[in-house]
Amino acid sequence: MSISIDAKSCIIDGRRSLLLSGAIHYPRSTPAMWPGLMQEARAGGLNCVETYVFWNQHERERGKYDFSGRLDLRHFCECAASEGLKVFLRPGPYICAEQDYGGFPAWLRDAPGVRLRTKNEAYYDEVRKWFDILFAYLLPLFDRAGGPIIAVQVENEYANIGPAYGGEGGAYMTWLRDLIAGYETGAPLTACNPVGSAEMMLAAPKLERAVPTLNAGFAHPFVRTFKRWASGHPCLWTEAWMAWYQVWGLPRPFRPAANMAWCAARFFAEGGKGINYFPWHGGTNFGRTGMYLQAANYDFDAALDEFGCRTRKFELLSSLNHALRAHEDTLVECDLPEARRAGDGLEARVFSHGGKSVVFLCNDNPPPDGARAMEWGGRNYSLPAQSVLMLADGREIWRGADSDAPDPVARVFVPASSFGKSDWLVADEPPPDVTGDWLAIGQPSEQLAFTKNKSDYAWYKCELSVNSVATQKGTLVFEGINDFFQVFVDGARAAVSRTHLPEDRGAWDSADYRQSFEMELAPGHHELTLLVCSLGLIKGDWQAGRSNMAEERKGFWGRVVWLPVATASSGAVVRFGEWSIHAGLAGERAAGEEPPGRLVCWRPLSSDDAGRPLRWFRVEFQAPDGDAPVALDLDGLGKGLAWVNGECVGRYWLIRSVAPGDIHTEHNQVMVFEPPGGPCQRYYHVPRDWLRAGKNTLLLFEETGGNPSGVKLACWRKKTGG
């Protein structure tokens, strides 16, 4: 067994090979799904799978490591090896990945003096401790020991923040590379950066003694520039974005399968030597593992959908992968192909070796009217818009698809079971006044210091005094508050914060953390209470005004101000007393136990419960027959968390989606979106292996006031008929 990378290609087990990899992230599926996912990866023509390592999930509490269940990374790698697949490991420690805190454990924020992703001894100490554990755990699985792991990436997309940290950032990357090399795995090290243009690539710093790679929506225009910029290395595309992730408030993004296949084929036509489809299977952000604003689904419009089922992308890309593998001996021996231009957006790329040839006929004209005919070798070939046709020794071996071709594997959600009103139990989330464990803090203070990220929720309260003889009209302004919250006056909900939030926000003192509400306040003393909800921790500095990630904060840390209207009674004074905080929810503390929600008092559901916030709902059900993937249809609910048999399905939020704005400049892939106006995400994956043969229990915390009468189970089935 051996692995090396030279100027031409990867050399795996002594043989030059194209790297045909797909991302499958182990915590986003379940161990019962892994064998099937690996079988589908092999059937799709892949020879490798890629995964990040999720530090935030393995070490939720400092010094307590979890490699069980969905975190059994060793078993995941063994499943890959059983199908003859190699593993490309991306251990971070920063991974981005749309993960909570970019894959860092939340407790790292509280290490004294820590600054993340730069030269900092407190940070170095914690990374070293974690990597000592991780690499000792994985060492038997590296190629040198006969295992499947063939390459290790250092950090992730450091060019996104590197310029801000200058020399100290460069020193950090060198330190991290040397730390990983010191584990003597024998695997080549790589380092990736996002590329949206040749200028971006040329401006990115290179990490010495690591193979540079690129991440992009399309990469073929950059191959020849890459070969000049990174001479001595093959061009490897470590993130070939299948589409994009979905955030709360925006519609689901898609990328046409034909466009993805064209971009992948064009990359190899230009001389690319390895691709990692990102992702091959996206999966689900179970529990509270998604980053700030990330939806529970991580489908990413991948080759295998969220449930592990084949899509049209699978059909197109698997046929391409098999064609590439069948002729890789010719492709890997040519550093760059012979380029021939036929004009009018038509290109030919010719690879020749040992008397054999592979030709890519490329039509780069976009739809809808980009179809062209191209002459080659005395024959005319019809090429759909933005497509590639491959010839081997004059014989057609692969053809791209028409972008308007129908989807042969379309699926739909089919209702499997619903619940009657009498099936449901309901309970109120008791306010902290009932449990009696408020903590006096004087001035508002961000919540992570108290919740330790073990809950999304924190309560805040203070006394509000209105010194006047008449009701006051004005605006209640909160400065320094994050992310979503509800305002209660004397126990009654008085306001709800805005729902559609920007993914990238400004500095902590900016207007992005300021919200105001018009209201009336009666004379006298009142209790002002807030329930603040984190929507996940940021994944990078850019989501908080380029502040270092160690400065991440949630909850309420600023001040509250009353702005009276101009006609308010002169001399009226509104004062705010000292603040107290309470971390988490009472029912949440036992949500994963049996019976769930034991800290709340259950009663039969009544018509009065619909539309009221802060309610727990519970129902028992039988698993649907058969083996079709199962989802919760949460139609009619608002926002909250869901559990099945003690397993947290994830955060849910059915806010209506709005039209998307601009995406980052390096995100150059073609994308289309679902029509806005529908619920952002209605269906939530429940893995079959979480369900029992007999009684199952669904538990919901409904935060904003939804009605469970529309909740049902659905199965994900192939579409039939017209």
- The Cα 281–Cα 346 span in angstroms is 33
Is residue 154 within 8 A of residue 172, CB to CB? The reply is: no
What distance, in Å, lies between the first and last C-alpha atoms of the chain?
51
- The Cα 711–Cα 701 span in angstroms is 13
Encoding tokens for residue 678? 């529908």
Residue 642's H or E segment, with its range, is strand 639-644
Is residue 464 within 8 A of residue 577, CB to CB? The reply is: yes
Nearest Cα neighbor of 74 from 180, 151, 147, 143 is: 147
CB-based burial of residue 603 (10 Å sphere; 0-12 exposed, 13-18 middle, 19+ buried)?
Answer: exposed
Angle between helices 121-138 and 162-181 (to 10 degrees): 40
Strand 372-376 relative to strand 379-383: parallel, antiparallel, unpaired? antiparallel
**DSSP alpha helix (H) spans, 438-507:** 448-451
What single string gives the DSSP state of each residue in 221-242? GGHHHHHHHTTTS--EEEEEES
Encoding tokens for residue 318? 């698997």
- The Cα 415–Cα 408 span in angstroms is 22
Per the annotation, the verdict on 703 as an active-site residue is no
What single string gives the DSSP state of each residue in 326-384? HTHHHHHH-SSPEEEEEETTEEEEEEEETTEEEEEEEE-PPSSS--EEEEETTEEEEE-
- The Cα 445–Cα 530 span in angstroms is 13
Per the annotation, the verdict on 594 as an active-site residue is no
| Set 157, 270, 552, 647: catalytic member | 157
Nearest Cα neighbor of 69 from 592, 714, 599, 698 is: 592
Largest CA distance in the chain: 97
Q: How far is CA 450 from CA 126, 457, 527, 586, in A?
A: 21, 10, 22, 15
Residues 6+ apart with CB under 8 A from 336: 223, 224, 227, 270, 271
% helix / strand / coil in the chain, to the nearest 5?
Answer: 25, 35, 40
Cis peptide before 368 (omega within 30 of 0): yes
Report how many helices (DSSP H) and strands (DSSP E) the chain contains, helices first: 12, 40
Is residue 154 within 8 A of residue 174, CB to CB? The reply is: no
DSSP lists the bridge partners of residue 664 as: none
| Set 98, 239, 503, 552: catalytic member | 239
Instruction: For residue 515, give the 3-state DSSP assignment.
Output: strand
Q: Which residues are catalytic?
A: 157, 239
